[in-house]
A and B are shown apart, each in its own frame.
Chain A
Amino acid sequence: GESVGLHLPTLSVQEGDNSIINCAYSNSASDYFIWYKQESGKGPQFIIDIRSNMDKRQGQRVTVLLNKTVKHLSLQIAATQPGDSAVYFCAERSNWANNLFFGTGTRLTVIP
């Protein structure tokens, strides 16, 4: 079956450092992945996405890396700021139902 999960449930980083949040997936046929940020009391917000024909994509201060060989996805946040404190979810597009399946989330805490 499919599973989308995260290696670490919590991550604490010092302000200004880089953050790396990891995600593993099990469906080798998945072709689309998204990272979401969820702040307390709010709905998930889109950060960045990547298609399976790419292995890297960059946004503003964020980079997503996709390693299809080991079915691993990571989100890198450069120069982490206090406003980056949130729960981060990866999501995978399922071919069979064309829906998004979400991981359990990693809580990122930025220490000032």
Chain B
Amino acid sequence: DADVTQTPRNRITKTGKRIMLECSQTKGHDRMYWYRQDPGLGLRLIYYSFDVKDINKGEISDGYSVSRQAQAKFSLSLESAIPNQTALYFCATRPGPNTEAFFGQGTRLTVV
């Protein structure tokens, strides 16, 4: 079983719809992250959380919101999806500051 699990793996949605991407982890890490990947742009940070009561904006938080429901769960919402939010989304966890990030398999989101 994957340590960092994202659902759904693929999603097509219409412009204006609300959509939630979910992430759960079994690694016991406090730090969780949501990244967006576009071709040629690498990974960009959307939001991050260092514990259940901590939510922080990343580089590109506009149009997104998050919820840290528990240490193991961190969900990303698009309140009103738009086509330029079509991208590959990754959730990641880290045990501490100077440590690697562990990534989920990604969610491919298409907004039509």
* Chain A contacts to B: CB under 8 angstroms: 9, 31-32, 34, 41-46, 49, 51, 89, 91, 93, 97-105
CB within 8 Å of A: which of B75-112?
A: 90, 92, 94, 97-98, 100-106
Interface set of B (CB-CB < 8 Å, partner A): 4, 33, 35, 40-45, 48, 56, 58, 90, 92, 94, 97-98, 100-106
For the complex formed, measure the closest distance between the CB of A104 and the CB atoms of chain B, giving whole angstroms.
Answer: 4
Q: Which residues of B are found within 8 Å of A102, using beta-carbon distances?
A: 35, 42-44
| A45 cross-chain contacts in B, Cβ below 8 A | 103
Q: How far is the CB of A91 from chain B (nearest CB, A)?
A: 8
Q: Looking at chain B's contact residues, is the secondary structure mostly helix, strand, loop, or mixed? A: strand
Cα of A101 to Cα of B58 in the assembled complex, Å: 10
- Report which of A41, A49, A89 forms a contact with B100, defined as CB distance below 8 A: A49
Q: Report whether B98 and A43 are in contact in the complex, using a CB–CB cutoff of 8 Å.
A: no
Neighbour of A93 across the interface among B35, B42, B97, CB < 8 A: B97
Contacts of A9 in B (CB 8 A): 40
Tell me whether B58 and A99 are in contact (CB under 8 A). Answer: yes
Given A43-B105, A97-B56, A99-B33, A104-B40 contact (CB < 8 Å): yes
Q: Which chain B positions have C-beta within 8 A of A97?
A: 48, 56
From known contacts A97-B56, A104-B40, A104-B42, infer whether A43 and B106 are also in contact, taking CB-CB under 8 Å. Answer: yes
Which of A42, A45, A46, A98 is packed against the most chain B CB atoms within 10 Å?
A98
Q: Does B48 lie within 8 Å of A43, measured CB to CB?
A: no
- Is A101's CB under 8 angstroms from B45's CB? yes
